[in-house]
Amino acid sequence: MQNQQLSPVPRDRLICQMPKYYTAESCLQYKTHFDAQVKSVCQQRHAGNFGLKMSKVVMVGDLYVGKTSLINRFCKNVFDRDYKATIGVDFEIERFEILGMPFNLQIWDTAGQEKFKCIASAYYRGAQVIITAFDLGDIQTMEHTKRWLQDALKENEPDTCSVFLVGTKKDTLSEAECERTERDALKFAVEMKAEYWSVSAKTGENVKDFFFRVAALAFEQSMKKELEKSKLSTAQIGAGNLIQLEGNPGEKKENDLQHNMNCC
Ligand SMILES: Nc1nc2c(ncn2[C@@H]2O[C@H](COP(=O)(O)OP(=O)(O)OP(=O)(O)O)[C@@H](O)[C@H]2O)c(=O)[nH]1
């Protein structure tokens, strides 16, 4: 496990535009720009008042589909040909700067092996993003994604999670094979209300684009929620003076993270 909180945001983790979806046939939103209100708040640097710092991402799927490899390719830019099963859970914290605001993704890698499932499922709670991964070369793993998603959703409030369906190991298939499998996967994605992506941890194809999309959508969703909350908890006096009626929500999130880290 690594805590990368103290290092500066790398230059290549800056997001100024909404990254594009993989395919319009199954995406969470078509817009190619950030929400106008979110953008305006970020430009005025009011976002600091909202205590927005971190979104929790949980990656689930069968064993050996390549969950750890995908996370490692993005977070450390490495690929290991040898298989080392994840024992329970692991996580990485990846720092971004989105629309000029610091934003972290806490990416949880869970074990696909049945014997570790009860440990891993304890960490599904509080997810803003659920990534269900399958191996593009193994159709059975695709069929299992619905079950993985159900299990992860059970631990979260209804309609609070963005869902992604990701086909891994794209490099192991020919273009024609990949297209055939993607056609089936897209049907699954639509049924699961998920955004679909095909990636390869080995070559790195689409890995950065995918995680940037996850980060941008999670950021926008969190900002919108915080804006809604702040409307309820602030009273406007005179010409634009804002009074905060509740404690800083950021403090609670910090405490939650600390609690998660301690558990881990
Ligand atoms: N060719 C190829 N192999 C991959 C790719 N991603 C992962 N692998 C290989 O697939 C095997 C399993 O990868 P992992 O990332 O450990 O799989 P996992 O889903 O995390 O497995 P569990 O931890 O048991 O749940 C490893 O041998 C990886 O090297 C890929 O994009 N292309």
The pLDDT tens digits for 62-86 are 999 999 999 999 999 999 999 999 9
Task: List the one residue out of 131, 113, 207 whose CA is nearest residue 169.
Answer: 207
Ligand 1 site, residue 168, Cβ cutoff 6 A: yes
Ligand 1 site, residue 85, Cβ cutoff 6 A: yes
pLDDT band at 19 (very low <50, low <70, confident <90, very high): very high
Contact predicate 59/131, CB 8 Å: yes
Of the residues 83, 206, 210, which should be mutated to test ligand 1's pocket, given the most ligand atoms within 8 Å of the CB?
Answer: 83
pLDDT at 261 over 50: no
Ligand 1 site, residue 230, Cβ cutoff 6 A: no
Residue 156: CB partners within 8 Å, gap ≥ 6?
Answer: 124, 125, 126, 127, 130
Ligand 1 site, residue 86, Cβ cutoff 6 A: yes
Q: Give pLDDT tens digits for 87-141.
A: 999 999 999 999 999 999 999 999 999 999 999 999 999 999 999 999 999 999 9
Q: Which of 131-145, 197-211, 233-247 has the lowest mean pLDDT?
A: 233-247
Ligand 1 site, residue 81, Cβ cutoff 6 A: yes
Q: Give pLDDT tens digits for 162-183.
A: 999 999 999 999 999 999 999 9
pLDDT in the model for residue 228: 87
pLDDT in the model for residue 12: 75
pLDDT at 221 over 80: yes
Nearest-CA residue for ligand 1 atom 26 is: 83
Of the residues 64, 87, 90, 144, which should be mutated to test ligand 1's pocket, given the most ligand atoms within 8 Å of the CB?
Answer: 64
Instruction: Count CB-CB contacts under 10 A for residue 228.
Output: 10
Region 139-154 average pLDDT: 97
Joined together, the tokens standing for residue 129 give 């993003």
Q: Which of 28-37, 125-134, 236-245 has the lowest mean pLDDT?
A: 236-245
pLDDT in the model for residue 15: 96
**Could you give the CA distance from residue 240 to residue 221 in angstroms, rounded to a whole number?**
25
Q: Given the CA of residue 172, which atom of ligand 1 is nearest to it?
A: 1
Contact predicate 42/99, CB 8 Å: yes
Ligand 1 site, residue 111, Cβ cutoff 6 A: yes
Residue 149: CB partners within 8 Å, gap ≥ 6?
Answer: 60, 130, 132, 163, 192, 194
Helix/strand/coil percent split, the chain, to 5: 45, 20, 35
pLDDT in the model for residue 2: 47
**Could you give the CA distance from residue 221 to residue 38 in angstroms, rounded to a whole number?**
9
Joined together, the tokens standing for residue 67 give 């969950």
pLDDT band at 258 (very low <50, low <70, confident <90, very high): very low
pLDDT in the model for residue 49: 65
Residue 60: CB partners within 8 Å, gap ≥ 6?
Answer: 67, 110, 112, 120, 124, 130, 131, 132, 133, 148, 149, 151, 152
Rg (CA), the chain: 19
pLDDT band at 43 (very low <50, low <70, confident <90, very high): confident
- What sign results for the dihedral spanned by CA atoms 180, 136, 161, 144? positive
Task: List the one residue out of 99, 97, 105, 143 whose CA is nearest residue 127.
Answer: 105
Joined together, the tokens standing for residue 117 give 């499932």
pLDDT in the model for residue 249: 43
Ligand 1 site, residue 95, Cβ cutoff 6 A: no
Nearest-CA residue for ligand 1 atom 21 is: 64
Look at 235 and 45; give whichever has higher pLDDT: 45
Q: Which of 38-42, 56-60, 103-107, 175-179 has the lowest mean pLDDT?
A: 38-42
CA 15 – ligand 1 centroid, Å: 28
In whole numbers, what is the pLDDT of the chain averaged over residues? 86
Joined together, the tokens standing for residue 11 give 């230059």
Ligand 1 site, residue 66, Cβ cutoff 6 A: yes
Angle, alpha carbons 196-22-109 (nearest 5°): 50
Q: What is the pTM of this model?
A: 0.86
pLDDT in the model for residue 52: 61
Q: Strand 54-60 to strand 101-110: parallel, antiparallel, or no bridges (unpaired)?
A: parallel
